[in-house]
Amino acid sequence: DIQMTQSPSSVSASVGDRVTITCRASQGISSWLAWYQQKPGKAPKLLIYAASSLQSGVPSRFSGSGSGTDFTLTISSLQPEDFATYYCQQANSFSFGQGTKVEIK
């Protein structure tokens, strides 16, 4: 099975900061990767699919990149509503990363 490892597990940042989260697959998955945002008590929300495609309605400050085994989610200028937990998911055998919590500094 393909394992997904996210780093860091948590990050403290301020409004306006640039935040980068990485996700590494245990084997190559081409561009078959999505990023989701989840706020406490809520269902996850799709942000990015196919590694770099922005889901409709998602602000352009979110971007994704990478292929093969290494992927990145970038928030270019953190907004108050972006404090949440972020998960990567590979679409080969569907496993999620363990999550990255973005907290207020």
Partner 1 sequence: EVQLLESGGGLVQPGGSLRLSCAASGFTFSSYAMSWVRQAPGKGLEWVSAISGSGGSTYYADSVKGRFTISRDNSKNTLYLQMNSLRAEDTAVYYCAKGLLPVDTAMVTFDYYYYMDVWGKGTTVTVSS
The partner residues of 65 in beta bridges, in order of sequence, read 72
Please report how close the Cβ of residue 80 comes to partner 1 at its closest, in angstroms.
Answer: 23
In the shown chain, the binding pattern of residues 43 to 82 toward partner 1, with x for contact by CB under 8 A and - for none, equals xxxx--xx----x---------------------------
Residue type, 8: P
13 binds partner 1 (CB under 8 A): no
- CB burial of 47-56 (b: ≥16 within 10 Å; e: otherwise) equals bbbebbeeee
DSSP 55: P
Residues 19-48 that bind partner 1 (CB under 8 A): 30, 32, 34, 36, 38, 43-46
Contact with partner 1 (CB under 8 A) among 64, 71, 75, 89: 89
Helix (H, G, I), strand (E, B) or coil at 82: helix
Please report how close the Cβ of residue 51 comes to partner 1 at its closest, in angstroms.
Answer: 10
Token pair of 99, please?
Answer: 């999550």
Do residues 69 and 27 make contact, with C-beta atoms less than 8 angstroms apart? yes
Do residues 77 and 59 make contact, with C-beta atoms less than 8 angstroms apart? no
Whichever of 16 and 42 has its CB closer to partner 1, that residue is: 42
Instruction: Please give the residue ranges that form the binding site for partner 1 (CB under 8 A).
Output: 1, 30, 32, 34, 36, 38, 43-46, 49-50, 55, 85, 87, 89, 91-99
